[in-house]
């Protein structure tokens, strides 16, 4: 095979250690969970992972808005809005207009049934990934993950600073 003259065919010397780069490891684990869950949920219920997340949040926090769901699960509001449309059409959730406020969302009895049917799929994914950990290790892992999540707002703040610096350099 002949490479183009500008193709770099040797590894670059300064790279991420893919075995110890925490964001990569978290992403791989998350992707594996989502792919498994999505495949099963689509086959069994005709709904996807994003739809499940909306149902799950409404089971925990009845009456929240799409924006509040977006914040709670750290997902784009457009994706949440699409799921709200799907779930409303399937009569799994209802939307309530409240003066001066976005629409509040609630599960219907059918939505509660769907939540309860989907929950074991999600719980099984958790069981699979935690199977080799002791109960104490699971507690420690969750504590560490909450500490990491507490730093997430800094990523957004830093992103804004980085964008300003790029604009100033231009």
Q: DSSP labels for 97-152?
A: EETTEEEEEEE-HHHHHHHHHHHHHHHHHHHHHHTTS-HHHHHHHHHHHHHHHHHH
Condensed to tens digits (0 to 9), the pLDDT of residues 82-119 reads 999 999 999 999 999 876 668 999 999 999 999 999 99
Residues 123-134 pLDDT 10s: 999 999 999 999
pTM: 0.83
Domain ranges of the chain: 26-121
Mind spelling out the 3-state secondary structure of 147-166?
Answer: HHHHHHHHHHHHHHHHHHHH
- 26-121 CATH: 1.10.10.10
């Amino acid at each position: 095979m002949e490479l183009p003259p500008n193709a770099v065919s040797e590894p670059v010397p300064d790279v991420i250690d893919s075995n110890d780069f925490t964001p990569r490891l978290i992403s791989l684990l998350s992707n594996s969970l989502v792919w498994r869950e999505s495949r099963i949920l689509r086959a069994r219920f005709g709904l996807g992972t994003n739809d499940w997340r909306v149902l799950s949040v409404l089971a925990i926090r009845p009456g929240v808005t799409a924006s509040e769901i977006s914040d709670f699960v750290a997902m784009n509001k457009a994706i949440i809005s699409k799921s709200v449309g799907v779930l409303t059409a399937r009569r799994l959730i209802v939307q309530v207009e409240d003066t001066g406020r976005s629409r509040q969302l609630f599960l219907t009895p059918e939505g509660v049934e769907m939540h309860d049917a989907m929950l074991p799929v999600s719980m099984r994914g958790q069981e699979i990934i935690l199977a080799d950990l002791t109960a104490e290790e699971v507690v420690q892992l969750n504590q560490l993950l909450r500490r990491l999540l507490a730093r997430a707002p800094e990523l957004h703040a830093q992103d804004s600073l980085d964008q300003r610096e790029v604009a100033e350099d231009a």
